[in-house]
């Protein structure tokens, strides 16, 4: 896919920055909307070149639908992980088996890889330590038996299925 026009990239950046402004201020006051739009126009003028390469093409209905679906999916994953970590902390025997695991991703875009790394880190019980091309090194509070294998291929497959694959089905569509 070729690079979008400068105007398309600029307009997309303005839209995203203005939506962030709306989310942060949570106000529909005319003065705040006007200032937010002005600020978005100015900031976008300096940042659109590094903000996006696809411009308005990012706003296709399928991507937007997956973005909307990803929010509750991620929140549910976070709630489940919070309950799991709370169980492990409160259990008298502290059933933890921490370790650093290696996962692979199918994502190609840097922004998609960043979103995956942040999703993993924001989910309690896992922390992304390093990303190297398509490999993620993650600290996991409970490394399952399937990931504790001598075979690196089996280890990566089991770890990826437990950590990265559930998020990737959304992020691959959203970020390409």
State how far the Cα of 54 lies from the Cα of 59, in Å rounded to an integer: 9
98 Cβ contact list (under 8 Å, min separation 6)? 139, 140, 141, 142, 143
Residue 38 has pLDDT above 80, yes or no: yes
Q: Decide if pLDDT at 13 tops 50.
A: yes
Rounded CA-CA distance 40/27 in Å is 16
pLDDT-based confidence at residue 145 (cuts at 50, 70, 90)? confident
DSSP 32-84: HHHHHHHHHHHHHHHHHHHH-SSGGGGG-HHHHHHHHHHHHHHHHHHHHHHHH
Distance of CA 157 to the CA centre of its chain: 20
pLDDT higher than 50, residue 47: yes
Q: What element of type H or E holds 128?
A: strand 126-132
Query: Which of the four pLDDT bands, split at 50, 70 and 90, describes residue 146?
Result: confident
Residue 2 pLDDT: 54
Structure confidence at residue 3 (pLDDT): 66
Q: What pLDDT does 150 receive?
A: 79
Q: Which residue has the higher pLDDT, 24 or 2?
A: 24
SS3 call for 132: strand
Whole-number pLDDT of residue 52: 84
Burial (CB count within 10 angstroms: exposed 0-12, middle 13-18, buried 19+), residue 73: middle
pLDDT beyond 90 at 57: no
User: Region 52-80: what's the mean pLDDT?
Assistant: 93
Dmax (CA) for the chain in angstroms is: 62
Residue 135 has pLDDT above 90, yes or no: yes
Report the candidate in 48, 30, 69 with the shortest Cα–Cα distance to residue 174. Answer: 69
β-pairing verdict for 126-132 and 99-104: unpaired
Per-residue pLDDT at 72 = 97
């Amino acid at each position: 896919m070729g690079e979008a026009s400068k105007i398309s990239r600029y307009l997309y950046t303005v839209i995203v920055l203005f939506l962030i402004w709306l989310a942060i201020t949570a106000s529909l006051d005319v003065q705040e909307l006007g200032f937010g739009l002005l600020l978005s126009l100015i900031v976008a003028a300096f940042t659109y070149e590094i903000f996006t390469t696809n411009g308005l093409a990012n706003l296709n209905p399928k991507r937007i639908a997956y973005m909307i679906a990803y929010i509750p999916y991620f929140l549910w994953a976070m709630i489940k992980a919070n309950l799991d970590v709370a169980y492990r902390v409160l259990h008298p025997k502290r059933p933890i088996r921490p370790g650093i695991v290696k996962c692979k991703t199918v994502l190609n875009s840097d922004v998609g890889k960043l979103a995956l790394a942040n999703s993993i880190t924001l989910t309690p019980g896992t922390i992304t330590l390093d990303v190297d091309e398509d490999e993620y090194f993650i600290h996991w509070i409970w490394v399952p038996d399937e990931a504790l294998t001598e075979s690196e291929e089996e280890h990566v497959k089991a770890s990826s299925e437990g950590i990265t694959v559930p998020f990737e089905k959304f992020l691959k569509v959203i970020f390409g």
